Structures are given as C-alpha cells and as structure tokens.
Amino acid sequence: MRVGWGSTFKIYLPVQPGLIDQLNAQQQEEENVPGGAETILVAEDEDVLRELMVLILQEKGYRVLSAGDGQIALQLHAEHKNEIALVVSDMGLPKMNGWEVFKKMQAVDPEVTVLIASGYLDREVKTEILNSGVRGFIQKPYRPVEILRMIREILDSK
C-alpha cells in the first residue's frame, strides 16, 4: 500500500429537469422581498425551524427575539412589548399554545400584532382565531419567501 495512490470515483446523479431553474427562481424571489429593521418575536418549539427563522429574518435586517415555548414568549413580550412590532407564533407551543399566548399578550397590550403558523387547524378554529384579532395565519410547511412576504404585508398595514 502506497500513500497517495489508489482509485478515484466520480458519481454523476441525474437532476430532475427544471429543478435548478426552480431553485434559482425561488432564491431570486426571496431576495426581492423587502426586509426591515423592526423587532420580531419568534415563538417556535422546533429548534431547527426557530433557528432558521431567526437567520432568515436577521438576513433581512430585522431584530429578532426567540422563544421555544409559550411562557418564554410571554416573558419576552412583557420585557420588550414597546419594541416588538410583530409576534410570529407556532400554534402548537409547549406550556401554552399560540392562541393562548396571543390572548395573554392582548390582555396586556391590546395593540399586539400576531401571526400564527400551524400545520393544520380546523376551519372553524382558524376563523375564531382570526376574528379574535390575530393578524394572519400561515400554513406549515411554508417557504421562506411566503413568511417574509406575509410579515412585510402585516407590518406595512399597521
């Protein structure tokens, strides 16, 4: 056996036709969504999703606070309610779900602006949540460009 001698293998796998163009178009679309300097509180119990959301928002210029459960979200809101422009909350948070978090925040700050994310919500529950004052709802899984657009639309409509 000699160091530096051996075999080299190259494996070429086919790419689905149009996939690269589609990915480039999605990236371009995301780059075209304007960002901002507002403070956003992200409440998401899945670490990977929360960290990804924080990175995406920070890349767009937002200041981001993050919470892994409903109680931490409430605590951060209480400490920073005058700075927070928007709360993006998963519906299925531990300790307190997203709607409960919204209602408690709203009791302290009637002007709180909340966007709820969920994998599935019954239509009647979704309607009730939206009628209670939640500013928007986004269905999981969502693409980064979809949440960025919705965040910007909600912030611009305030």
- Please give the C-alpha separations between residue 13 and each of 6, 16, 19, 70, in angstroms, as whole numbers: 23, 10, 13, 44
- CATH superfamily, with its number, for domain 36-156: Response regulator (3.40.50.2300)
Record the tokens describing residue 143, joined without a space.
């693409």
Instruction: Of 1-15, 27-41, 62-76, 79-93, give the lowest mean pLDDT range.
Output: 1-15
How far is 57 from 87, CA to CA, in rounded Å? Answer: 12
Concatenating the DSSP letter of every residue in 56-95 gives HHHHTT-EEEEESSHHHHHHHHHHHTTTEEEEEEESS-SS
Record the tokens describing residue 35, joined without a space.
């960002």
* Side-chain half-sphere exposure of 12, counting CA atoms within 13 A: 0
Q: Where are the domains of the chain?
A: 36-156
Question: Mean pLDDT highest for which of 14-28, 42-56, 125-139?
Answer: 42-56
Query: What pLDDT shows up at residue 17?
Result: 76
How far is 138 from 129, CA to CA, in rounded Å? Answer: 12
Record the tokens describing residue 11, joined without a space.
């494996």
3-state secondary structure of 137: strand
Q: Give per-residue pLDDT as tens, 33-64.
A: 899 999 999 999 999 999 999 999 999 999 99
